[in-house]
Amino acid sequence: MLRQKQFVKKTKSGKVLKVVKEHYLRDDIWCSAEACRACDHTETVLSATPSINKLFPLPHYIIPDTNIFMNQIDVMEKPQITNVIVLQTVLEEVKHLSLPIHKRVRDMISNKEKRFYVFSNEHHRETFIEKLKDETPNDRNDRAIRVATKWYAKHIQGLKPNVSMVMMTDDVANRAKATADGLQAVSVKWYIEALENTELLDMISDTKELDDGQQLLYVEHLSPSHLSSGIKSGKYYQGKLGISSHNYLEGSIYTKIDGVEGTILIVGRENLNRAVNGDIIAVELLPKSEWRTTPTGVVIDEEEEKAEEESLKEEQKKAQEEEDTVMEDATKSAQPSKLDTPQPCGKVVGIIRRNWRQYCGFLDRKSVHTPAGSSAPINVLFYAMDSKVPKIKFRTRQAHSLLGQRIIVSIDSWPKTSRHPIGHFIRTLGDAGDRATETEVLLLEHDVPFHEFSKQVLSFLPIEGENWVVTPEDFNGREDFRSLNVCSIDPPGCTDIDDALHVTPLPNGNYQVGVHIADVTHFVRPNNLMDQEAAMRGTTVYLVDKRIDMLPGLLGTNLCSLRSNVERLAFSCIWELNEDAEIVNVRFTKSVISSKASLTYEEAQNRIDDERMQDDITKGIRILNTLAKRLKQKRMDMGALTLASPEVRFNLERDSQDPVDVEMKELKETNALVEEFMLLANISVARKVYDKFPDSAMLRCHPTPPATSFEKLEKAVARFGITLDHSTSKALSDSLDNAVIPEEPYFNKLLRIMTTRCMMQALYFCSGSMTEQEFRHYGLATDIYTHFTSPIRRYPDIMVHRQLHAAIDSDVKYGTELTDKETMNELCDGLNHRHRMAQQAGRSSVELFTHLFFKNKVEEEEGYVIRILKNAFIVLVPKYGIESIVYASAKAPKITAVDGKDTSKDSAAVQQILVYNPETDSLQSTEPLSPGETPKVQIQLFQKVIVQISIDDDLKGGGEGGMRQKLKMELLKPWIEGLSVHGTCNKDDPEAHAATSTADPNAPLANGTALKKREGGAETTKRAGKRSKA
């Protein structure tokens, strides 16, 4: 049965190594065809009666080659394609080329209905082939596929019922060779065309047909070997491309330039050279003369849009020129002033790894120009929801039915002759603007796994289901805390209660305080399917109207949830605290508790405040409250930061789930109470876990932000005579506390919001991968931290629970999952990604509801300038917690329409009304200035403005139906000629224009309330006079 075969392989890893491996060829690898009696297989995958295609006389099995999977994976995933033999050669090649696709192929293989069978041809005696001399590996693999097909064809000959083999490849030469060998070979396109299914046909990625231009639009990428040697020698820089969220033609990479970490800007279509957001690219620096200083610029791309449309109509050349001039204009206007150091700029010379995925988006209506109802295939353009992604061109026969829908498209290639990447259609999600569709879109866009839990996963739930109760056996190794006055405090409507508290005064005057956390790991055992699913999901995702659970509902909202008056398993952290809330001792134990009350923050607050309530629980909450205040004070003294974010809460209409009102989230004292004890528990647990697993503890750190991230903010607050000391978190915390402007109560909050944005992201990490100094949590000002208190909704907490359990009980059995540094690191990376995505998904959901809220509404609100861009600025409206761009340039005709006056600048396509002044980091009007004079209008950070908020119906893709909906903000105050619009607040006031523009631009927030007047009143009048002349 065994034959031994050795082959010699050379690998290079610095040195040339000779690797000798054994390779056993077998004759017990079965064909898995149901009707085959010659093979000794017990379970068969391939059906005896596979599907029929018009092209072939007999029902057949398909053997695809590697490129079929690489390019046409979406078609292969369709239920119409079944009975496929995946050769080991193909599978290994796919794995080598792309892990995500390999995973998808594996998923298909494990799906019984697809009937995909893996034939280990490389281990089969009759199908293994040696590489011939002068044969490339690709040719060898193609030959291996043909040999395997031939073997199969011979093997299944004469089966009853009759079946045949079909080799599927898009490689013409390979097909010819196969036919010469007497095999049936077919390309995907022929095969699918014979099936006569429009949807499937659309999904075939056919790069050749779409690639219409002969003209080279982009510079060729360099070869991988060229790139790697260039990167090694320091000629090129490698990095992950991040496209600006405001301008898809501007990106940057973060890399080391001459040993110093920094960003390289890549601006413009030419320089980006077909790189897409997230790709790992190689960049060459441009000569210093072409460097520029910019805050991120905004390109209003309507003009370009036009060029796009025309290019589709094959007036490519003309459009190209037109656009190029626009682009050039933009470049010119961004020429650096000499005062600021220019930022390094570069161009993409090659792509090291693509990071293409499937994109949700919609069709460009303008690109559909066949009559309605036509089903002729046409090339259309696709806008991704993610504004960082360029438009994608694809071919479809169902363009009209796709209009107004959200669809998924993926990119196949981006040839240098094509302006846009070329892709293919995958599926439709539903009507645009529909809440369910839009929610699905945002989940997909943020890579949130939201499918139902599979049966296999649910099979790991306790068999008793809802009726599960704590049994006497469960008390083994657990302390009985059922008699303690435990209660939980959570937001209203919370069903997944994962923490509860208790306090008992001790005879010595100290207090015993306990934090009890749901014992999720009792139910979720390591490495079973439920655990793997939870690890994959990483976290529960909270959207405005729904929750995507990490654990099945039975656990999350019932068996683990520490509801009142039922016995539940818990993991407890028990301290003895003295009057000053100092820890005398701490211990951890698994326990059984029975919560006496589950309160909302408000109820708990009322109990504290209500003098008449004198029951044990209320007394306990009061003690906890005092202790919490002391803890908080201590934390503040250590330098913990109080940061802020503009969070809002929607009041939803009960039935339709439409938002009817928005309010800012408010925090009560009791929020802080719970938070303090959770922090204390997390810190105590982190110490214990790190003690036991110095190399592999799962911890959470918050890196100290680099000094550079505060530069702009420091400059901006300096205007108000405020200094921001960010040397330590303590110093920052103090300077934030002192940064108060009495006239403007919101200023401090605003500053905290903006400081928050300068911070780094907190991260999960494995203790073995960093030095102890790096463990520090900057925001909380503690030297070690982890997450322990929410195992129902966060996977890291589950890991920490397991580690803590192993740390307190030496009898606990555990495997390498808790000790292996590598797997732990991988897990941390995954969890960080999920965590980030979940946060963003939550924010996007809020955004979606904000849009629904503002539908058919026009509001005027106060807002604050929080960021200055090259030709726009961003305004935050605290009332709704929304922010949006206000453009500082406008199209000339628009102005005429709004103003009724002739500005006589119609010729210029885009008129820059305010220009960026890098010296003051502000936007200012363009009139010529004599030295020492301040411009008449200035937009600066922190400035208070009044804006009009509405939903921009002037939508991209030229379509109705709420495509990429945008919140539109237009400036009302200060009045800027040509930019501001008339609203209720300035329409009846003819003086408004003059009044606002004369107001000192240094006035921080409220108009006219200057903190520090740098100019005298005389100058103000002078400027006012000038204004009236203009």
Partner 1 sequence: MSRVELLSPEGLRIDGRRPAELRKITSTTSVLSQADGSAYLEHGNTKVLAAVYGPREARHRALVIHDRAVLNVELNLAPFSTGERRRRNKNDKRLLEIAQFVKQTFEPVVITTLYPRSQIDIYFQVIQHDGGTLQACINAATLALIDAGIAMTDYVCACTAGWVEREAAIDLNYTEESADTSEMTIAMLPKSSKITLMQMESRLHVDKLDEVIALAGEGCKQIHEVLDKTVRDRAEDLARKMAV
Question: Using CB under 8 A as the criterion, which residues of the chain lie in contact with partner 1 when the complex forms?
Answer: 2, 4, 6, 15, 17-26, 88, 95, 99, 106, 109-110, 118, 120, 122-123, 813, 815-816, 819-820, 826
Q: In angstroms, give the least distance from the CB of 457 to partner 1.
A: 18
Q: Toward partner 1, which CB reaches closer, 111 or 341?
A: 111
Q: Toward partner 1, which CB reaches closer, 116 or 710?
A: 116
Closest CA to 557 of 543, 540, 573: 540
Q: Toward partner 1, which CB reaches closer, 87 or 349?
A: 87
Q: Toward partner 1, which CB reaches closer, 18 or 133?
A: 18
Q: Toward partner 1, which CB reaches closer, 6 or 907?
A: 6
Residue 107 has which token pair? 């998923």
Q: In angstroms, give the least distance from the CB of 482 to partner 1.
A: 32
Q: Toward partner 1, which CB reaches closer, 224 or 1008?
A: 224
User: Residues 639, 625: contact at Cβ < 8 Å?
Assistant: no
User: How many Å apart are CA 550 and CA 536, to the nearest integer?
Assistant: 9
Q: Toward partner 1, which CB reaches closer, 116 or 849?
A: 116
Instruction: Enumerate the H helices of 485-586 as residue ranges.
Output: 529-537, 553
| Exposure of 706 in the CB half-sphere (CA atoms within 13 A) | 5
Q: In angstroms, give the least distance from the CB of 764 to partner 1.
A: 18
Q: Toward partner 1, which CB reaches closer, 224 or 745?
A: 224
| Cα→Cα distances 590→201, 515, 966, Å | 58, 11, 51
Q: In angstroms, give the least distance from the CB of 542 to partner 1.
A: 28
Q: In angstroms, give the least distance from the CB of 120 to partner 1.
A: 5
Q: In angstroms, give the least distance from the CB of 827 to partner 1.
A: 11
Closest CA to 832 of 709, 699, 712: 699
Q: In angstroms, give the least distance from the CB of 141 to partner 1.
A: 17
Q: Toward partner 1, which CB reaches closer, 95 or 730?
A: 95
Q: Toward partner 1, which CB reaches closer, 353 or 901?
A: 353
User: How many Å apart are CA 923 and CA 454, to the nearest integer?
Assistant: 55
To which residue do tokens 């293409």 refer? Answer: 356
User: How many Å apart are CA 227 and CA 374, to the nearest integer?
Assistant: 47
User: Residues 298, 330: contact at Cβ < 8 Å?
Assistant: no
Q: Toward partner 1, which CB reaches closer, 12 or 1029?
A: 12
User: How many Å apart are CA 798 and CA 821, to the nearest integer?
Assistant: 17
Q: Toward partner 1, which CB reaches closer, 95 or 357?
A: 95
User: How many Å apart are CA 462 and CA 468, to the nearest integer?
Assistant: 7
Residue 136 CB neighbour total at 10 angstroms: 10
User: How many Å apart are CA 942 and CA 626, to the nearest integer?
Assistant: 37
Q: In angstroms, give the least distance from the CB of 44 to partner 1.
A: 14
User: Residues 348, 266: contact at Cβ < 8 Å?
Assistant: yes
Q: Toward partner 1, which CB reaches closer, 20 or 260?
A: 20
DSSP string, 718-774: HTTT-----SSHHHHHHHHHH---TT-THHHHHHHHHHHHHSPPPEEEEGGGS-GGG
Q: In angstroms, give the least distance from the CB of 525 to partner 1.
A: 11
Q: Toward partner 1, which CB reaches closer, 45 or 890?
A: 45
CA geometry: angle at 276 spanning 274 and 277, to 5°? 155
Q: In angstroms, give the least distance from the CB of 688 to partner 1.
A: 21
Residue 479 CB neighbour total at 10 angstroms: 16
Closest CA to 517 of 455, 560, 479: 560
Closest CA to 282 of 313, 247, 315, 238: 238
CA geometry: angle at 920 spanning 914 and 921, to 5°? 65
| Cα→Cα distances 776→153, 586, 794, Å | 64, 22, 21
Closest CA to 737 of 863, 645, 866, 636: 636
Q: Toward partner 1, which CB reaches closer, 86 or 429?
A: 86
DSSP string, 981-1006: ---HHHHT-TTHHHHHHHS-TT--SS
Q: In angstroms, give the least distance from the CB of 4 to partner 1.
A: 5
Q: In angstroms, give the least distance from the CB of 15 to partner 1.
A: 7
Q: In angstroms, give the least distance from the CB of 106 to partner 1.
A: 7
| Cα→Cα distances 534→2, 117, 422, 425, 545, Å | 42, 29, 36, 31, 22
Q: In angstroms, give the least distance from the CB of 741 to partner 1.
A: 53
Give the chain's length: 1030
Q: In angstroms, give the least distance from the CB of 160 to partner 1.
A: 27
Q: In angstroms, give the least distance from the CB of 18 to partner 1.
A: 6
Q: In angstroms, give the least distance from the CB of 96 to partner 1.
A: 11
Q: Which amino acid is at 357?
A: R
Phi, psi of 846 (to 5 degrees): -60, -40
Residue 734 has which token pair? 């103090």
Q: Toward partner 1, which CB reaches closer, 112 or 332?
A: 112
User: How many Å apart are CA 515 and CA 501, to the nearest integer?
Assistant: 5
Element (H, E) at 270: helix 269-272
764: β partners: 700
Contacting residues for 444 by C-beta, under 8 A, at least 6 apart: 358, 360, 408, 429
Q: Toward partner 1, which CB reaches closer, 24 or 254?
A: 24
Q: In angstroms, give the least distance from the CB of 820 to partner 1.
A: 8
Q: Toward partner 1, which CB reaches closer, 113 or 258?
A: 113
User: Residues 408, 985: contact at Cβ < 8 Å?
Assistant: no
